[in-house]
Amino acid sequence: MHKSSTISSKGQITVPQEIRKRLGLEVGDRVEFVVEGDRTLIRPARSEVNLFEKYIGILGPFPGGEEGIKAWIDDMRSDKDYEDQDSE
């Protein structure tokens, strides 16, 4: 795909609609320009903020800690009903 745009006197460009749709860009979104060798990429700007930060630890620790998690996974993997669903 090859699209082009003209730079205005203020250094602004219009991102073609097809590119905006492909990147999921909407009015007010930020983009970043990444220079890689002789190429420059445009992509949606990545937030430095972890959007899930406020949810970390909300449920408290898993009962039994890491060993409890491993046991739960092992139990799920060896569950007969689970195996039967897999073969259907």
Q: At what angle do helices 80-87 and 65-78 cross, to 10 degrees?
A: 50
Question: What are the CA-CA distances from residue 86 to residues 26, 34, 81 (Å)?
Answer: 41, 44, 9
pLDDT in tens, 16-69: 999 999 999 999 999 999 999 999 999 999 877 888 888 888 888 888 888 989
Amino acid in the structure at residue 60: G
Domain parsing of the chain, residue ranges = 53-87
Looking at residue 84, its pLDDT comes to: 59
> Is the pLDDT score of 81 beyond 60?
yes
Q: What six digits make up the tokens of 49?
A: 């903020």
Residues 6+ apart with CB under 8 A from 6: 13, 14
- Nearest 5°: phi and psi at 36? -130, 100
Looking at residue 88, its pLDDT comes to: 58
The pTM assigned to this predicted structure is: 0.49
